[in-house]
Amino acid sequence: MKYLSLAWFLVAMFPLASALAEPPRGAQKDEPRLAPPPAARQADPGLEARVWPEIGIVLPIDWEKLVTQLTAAGVLDREKFAGFYRKGGKLDAQAASLLDGTDNGSRSMTRDNASLLLNLLWAFGLGNKSEILEQGDMQAPRFGGAGRFASTGGWTLARGDAMEHFSRHRFVYLDAEQTRRVARVAAGIYRPCCGNPTLFPDCNHGMAMLGLLELLAARDFAESEMYRIALAVSSYWFPDAYLTIARYVESKQGLGWEQVVPVKILGAEYSSASGYRRIVSEMTPVSGQSGTGCAI
């Protein structure tokens, strides 16, 4: 077999993390969530404010341009998107402002809009032309095609089939170094919902994170800043998990959340499903905060 895995090449060149810490889950569209704890502990309000501040994190993204690109290309169907966010016959205010191109400067991700911005970044990551998508492990024959993953088959807000847009549109241009930077950082960012790094974006969180990294690299952000923003964003997508991790490093290592090294926290030791389970096995996890699931 002449298939050459980009993931294995990158692991050999940049040994930040294993491309696959756990077997990918193929066509399953609704993956198991974080392991349910036997008992739940209420979060410390002071810790919450440090892990995911109420004011949010400003994402340096031109949202008007992004939404215009997505809708023009059809990765995001305007009517489907509006219908999904229409509540009680009225379009959600934040979704409406994004579609209408109003108030689309630097927008902060908060607890209230984390899911909305995740979906936009998911669409961007899916549609943007990417060597990781075209040459990475998602294309391995053993998986039966890239369209069988939750991040591809699960995207139902496109015009036409999601795979018609898979790595099809050059929304941003990345030079060779920026492309390598995205791959290096993607190899080091795991997510608590599964065992895979962003280099293998088989669920919505992975695909959205890939899109975010591409947008940051296009603006020439350094790797350290990409990791910092990625950790902040992940904390809004998985609030229970990162509050628990924050308590763990505080109680076991004496580190405040402001002192942690993002690349370490985002690695497999803490942020993969197996890493998070290990942490949960050593202490009572925080529970009760709403997060984002692995489907629309």
The pTM is what? Answer: 0.84
Tens of each residue's pLDDT in the chain, 296 residues:
333 344 433 433 333 333 333 334 443 433 333 333 334 445 577 999 999 999 999 999 999 999 999 999 999 999 999 999 997 777 888 899 998 877 666 789 999 999 999 999 999 999 999 999 999 999 999 999 999 999 999 999 999 999 999 999 999 999 999 999 999 999 999 999 988 999 999 999 999 999 999 999 999 999 999 999 999 999 999 999 999 999 999 999 999 999 999 999 999 999 999 999 999 999 877 765 555 666 66
Amino acid (1-letter code) at residue 80:
K
Which stretches within 142-267 are classed as H helix? 150-153, 176-187, 204-218, 223-237, 239-253, 262-265
Contacts of 152 (CB under 8 A, 6+ apart): 126, 138, 146, 162, 163, 166, 207
